[in-house]
Each structure stands twice: as C-alpha cells, then as structure tokens.
C-alpha cells in the first residue's frame, strides 16, 4: 500500500493484549483539534528494511506503531489505521481499513482512510518515523484555515506523510487514482495546499526528531532502533 515516499538482540514487546492496547485519553486532556482525525499509514513492502515491518521496529520498550498510535490517540478524537494486513493490529483498539486501490501507493492509503474519517481534516503519518513528537503536529494543526492541505518541507523536499488533508479531498483522490496518479506530489498541484518552509519548521521544537525516518537496517542501528525478525 505505502510506497517509500522519501528519496533520501530481539526484545519481547507487550506481554499481554492489555499492554498492547494504547491507553485512553484522560478526561482533563484537550485534543489538539476537535476537527482533525489521526491517520496511520501502516503498509509498504519494506524492501529497504530487508523485509522487516517498519511499524514493528522497536524504540525503547515500544514498537513504532504503538508509539505512534498512543500519540495520535491522545491528540485526536478519532484514529484510523490503513493496512492490507489488518490481522497485525487486532490487539489494538483502533479502526483499521484496507486500500480500495491496492498497491497504488500512499495516495491510495489516504483515500481509504478518509472514507472512515468523521472530521473535516486528517493528520496523516507513515510508520517510518520512530521519534514522532507532538509539537510539530500541533504546529501544523494550528495553521489550518481555508487550505485543503498543510504540507511541511524538510531537507529540501516535502513531507506529505506528516501532513494534514481535508476529508473533502477523498473524491478528487479517487478520480486521480482512477486516472493513474499514484504519487501524492503529483496530486498536490490540484489542491489548495499551504507548504510550510523548512526554515519555519526547523524552529519548531521536536521537528528534527519527528522527521528522522528509518528505512534501512543501517539507519535503524544508527538511531538505536531495534529490528524484529
């Protein structure tokens, strides 16, 4: 489902189903926005990682998926996971859906998620960001206005899988997919998008950590991320 979008010892995880379920938001916590849902794109071929599922790389005592899910569940009133292997997520209290356009890349993943999203916008993130932080997400959410997408820039390129999309874009995404468009960057010219300059993003606390993606065993070793086989 999710193609790579950027150019550039075994440890047991949760010992019980209860430990694997992301904790519920406390009553005294506020959402980042009551108009935004969270979306996790959890797929792809993981070829550069030697076939290991990047969603289940281990950071500290948690998998990347656990960590991402917990952060989004504390931030938004709804979270949707897109995966063509839903059985991997059966122990988590979260909505899971599959692509309607299989093997068509991340645009198809976003299109599938928006079918379930109940809010005007969705914050979309991929599962190759082990050090995701809330501050850059909040920064992007607070920029919402009349734009249909908020896309941050980092290291000379866009980060379309750490970005916000209007739910109303689903129909246009479907039309684009029917027409053969697979890449998000090829779809974005048809969207009222705000691109947040790298110079602006670099001033946001946690941005450098958040955009530190891990795609290869060498990158995993460099950042002390454990690979489960």
Q: What percent of the chain has pLDDT over 90?
A: 61
Whether 15 maps to a domain, the answer reads: no
Q: Which domain holds residue 46?
A: 33-222
Whether 27 maps to a domain, the answer reads: no
Whether 3 maps to a domain, the answer reads: no
pTM above 0.85, yes or no: no
pLDDT in tens, 47-106: 544 445 666 677 677 888 898 999 999 999 999 999 988 888 888 999 999 999 998 999
Residue 205's closest CA among 160, 144, 138? Answer: 138
3 state DSSP class of 81: strand
Instruction: Give the pLDDT band (50/70/90) at residue 7.
Output: very low
Question: How far is 205 from 73, CA to CA, in rounded Å?
Answer: 21
The pLDDT score that the predictor gives to residue 72 is 97
- The winner for highest mean pLDDT among 29-43, 122-136, 139-153, 214-228 is 139-153
Q: Number of structural domains, the chain?
A: 1
Q: What percent of the chain has pLDDT over 70?
A: 73
Residue with token string 């960057």:
185
CA of 29: how far to CAs of 24, 74, 77, 83, 142, in Å? 10, 8, 11, 29, 17
| Rg (alpha carbons) of the chain, rounded to whole number | 16
pLDDT in tens, 10-26: 322 222 333 333 344 44
Whether 229 maps to a domain, the answer reads: no
Whether 17 maps to a domain, the answer reads: no
Question: How far is 48 from 195, CA to CA, in rounded Å?
Answer: 28
Whether 11 maps to a domain, the answer reads: no
Residue 213 Cα to chain centre, angstroms: 11
Q: Which helix (H) or strand (E) holds 176?
A: helix 170-178
Question: How far is 82 from 65, CA to CA, in rounded Å?
Answer: 12
Whether 197 maps to a domain, the answer reads: yes
CATH number of the structural domain spanning residue 82: 3.90.550.10
The pLDDT score that the predictor gives to residue 15 is 29
Whether 51 maps to a domain, the answer reads: yes
3 state DSSP class of 42: coil
């Amino acid at each position: 489902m999710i193609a790579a979008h950027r150019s550039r010892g075994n440890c047991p995880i949760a010992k019980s189903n209860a430990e694997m379920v992301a904790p519920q938001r406390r009553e005294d916590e506020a959402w980042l926005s009551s108009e935004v849902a969270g979306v996790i794109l959890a797929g792809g071929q993981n070829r550069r990682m030697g076939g290991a599922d990047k969603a289940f790389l281990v950071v500290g005592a948690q998998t990347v998926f656990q960590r991402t899910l917990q952060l989004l569940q504390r931030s938004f009133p709804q979270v949707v996971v897109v995966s063509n292997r839903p059985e991997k997520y059966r122990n988590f209290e979260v909505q899971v859906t599959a692509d309607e356009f299989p093997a068509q890349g991340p645009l198809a993943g976003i299109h599938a998620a928006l079918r379930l999203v109940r809010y005007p916008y969705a914050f979309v993130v991929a599962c190759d960001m082990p050090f995701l932080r809330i501050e850059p997400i909040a920064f992007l959410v607070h920029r919402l206005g009349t734009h249909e997408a908020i896309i941050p820039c980092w290291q000379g390129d866009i980060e379309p899988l750490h970005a916000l999309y209007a739910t109303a874009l689903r129909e246009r995404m479907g039309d684009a997919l029917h027409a053969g468009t697979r890449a998000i960057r090829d779809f974005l010219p048809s969207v009222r998008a705000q691109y947040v300059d790298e110079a602006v993003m670099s001033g946001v606390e946690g941005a450098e950590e958040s955009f530190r993606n891990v795609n290869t065993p060498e990158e995993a070793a460099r950042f002390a991320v454990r690979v489960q086989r």
